Amino acid sequence: MESFQQHFTENEWEACLKVLDALKDEPFHNLNNQVLSGLITKIHKNAKKQNRQEVIPG
């Protein structure tokens, strides 16, 4: 996870994980469900795409 350090601090990362951990049990207890859902969908889509690219021998 080298690249994340360029975009946010360790404290910001820990805060993000804390929020996501809380939301895993109560996903609708957030400030803006539409934004959160959109971000999670985009992250999931991009992760799947990157995983496929890593698996395909080039």
Total-model pTM? 0.69
The residue ranges of every structural domain in the chain are 3-55
DSSP letter at 27?
T
1-58 pLDDT, tens digit per residue, is 455 557 889 999 999 999 999 999 999 999 999 999 999 999 999 999 999 988 876 6
Position 17 scores a pLDDT of: 96
Position 1 scores a pLDDT of: 47
CA–CA separation, 6 and 47 (whole Å): 18
* 8 A C-beta contact, residue 45 and residue 38: no
Helices (DSSP H) in 1-58: which residue ranges?
Answer: 10-25, 33-55
